[in-house]
Structure 1
Amino acid sequence: MSSGFDIIGDIHGESDKLEALLLAMGYREQTGVFQHPDRKAIFVGDIIDRGPGVRRVVEIVSRMVGDDHAYLVLGNHELNLINWFRPLGLSKTFAHPHSKANRLQLSATLDVFSEDEAKSLANWLSYQPLFLEFPKFRVAHALWDQHFISRFIDTYSSCCLSPEVLRQSDRNPWLLQGLDRLTRGLNLRLPEGYFLTGNDGVSRKRIRAKFWGEAASNYGNVLLQAQPLPPELAARELTAIQKQQLCRYGAQERPLFVGHYWQSLPTNLFSANIACVDFSAAGTGPLVAYRLYHHHTALNPEHYFYV
């Protein structure tokens, strides 16, 4: 019987970091597949793009998933690749527009695979889970939206993406919004005239928003980014529409694991029941896992693992 799970953060093509982490946690490559004698890995998404070893990462992850030694939850970068090859309806317009900026974002993936290989990868990804729910914990790339998840399961009897879901998302606003929220989180538009410059040097008119804790009343309460807001903006009240857009993950909910948010060391929990495992592996940070054992009933920052 499995003793538990290792929830592994955003890899972004860093194959050396992935292999080092798996080996340090006791996984060994047997007949071409990394496996652990009594544990299973869960990848929280964003395995592709940015790093130099995308092909090797895809090889490792897909083989582990295919041999039932791991799960992969889709992230926004996987959804981008799927939509890069997916025409909208019968038109020649793609769901992820073929702009220079979008091509650049996917370049570390598209440059190492032939077009047929990339299409095959996108097709495989299009059948993977959007979220996972176990008796004692949950996993999503960026956010747990219970309203959307309940409706998705009621409609499709599955936690997985599929070509049918993709086709229906073109004309169903609730599907589009739900896919976006699960893989990209909550993003609120800033008032006219304001923008925030990230660590990547890009200025954005939207901010990532928290989805836990007390109900937010102003921009400062909800900000989920390292860059501070100007004091006058931090104190500005959210509009009624913005408050309606927010969803809260209550303190009474089972533990949730997410990636996506580019945290920095030291490893800390978002809240008592939310653990982020993305610690900027695509940059200078380590690839991080959370070692979860079946007998654990509460999250503990000491259970983070990295090399």
Structure 2
Amino acid sequence: MYALNQTRVTEFVFLGLSDNWMLEILFFTAFSVTYVLTLLGNILILVTIVFTPRLHTPMYFFLSNLSFIDICHSSVTVPKMLEGLLLEKKTISFDNCIAQLFFLHLFACAEIFLLTIMAYDRYVAICTPLHYPNVMNMRVCVQLVFALWLGGTVHSLVQTFLTTRLPYCGPNIIDSYFCDIPPVIKLACTDTYLTGMLIVSNSGTISLTCFLALIASYMVILVSLRKQSAEGRRKALSTCSAHFMVVALFFGPCIFIYTRPDTSFSIDKVVSVFYTVVTPLLNPLIYTLRNEEVKCAMKQLRRRQVFS
């Protein structure tokens, strides 16, 4: 708290994605469309699951939570990025920067935990189908979702504390389009080696450990599929491949960025755009285009609205 009170920096300035105004207009158009599609796609999945009784199962309960998290995750960074693309000077107050950092890590960590839970759900459904109704009942699912939000909150509070305890007395230029721990702590007026190591042990370890757990669960599932019927294998592979695509698209950038906070590469901005802007859009596309049950539910919901 003492370090925070001594902060002389009152705002940060983003360098953004480019200093070419033509590119900025192009980025603004593309990312505006992407953001709107992200909101519409994830809201559509939420509405479809809520108003379709046969989708009130653990798998779709987790999927609806994923859509909610994707809406929140993209909304933390994209609106501010779009605003910056229209302004010559891209600034954010110190308090708003810390708030953005907090919610970014809250929703990112919640998604990491949720994807891990979803992999466990598929493992139980495929490998021990007879025990599935008892192991993954709705009470357990609600408890797991509560636990992931609690874990995400604790993680984000720790990351925020590590950042705000450092003194910031200038410079205030962030080589990014949003506030995240690696670029922000580089501006601290003190040695940040220990803080960087704590970040690796927190964000990096969570990302890498959950990713390895996911890989292990999918390997077990693939081995167990040999005992399934041809139809069972097809359905299981379709579901698991969709899950694994989402896992790879989200975990790859997280591991790339948060396992080396003291090192920066020119490709970091591209990677950040991918997991804050693109991935939240791809999730609903992957889960709807590859899921016949969801597509049928959407068609029935549309017919019901038309004829009512």
Give the structure-2-normalised TM-score: 0.28
Higher relative contact order (CA 8 A, sep 6+): 2
Compare CA radii of gyration and give the structure with the larger one. Answer: 2
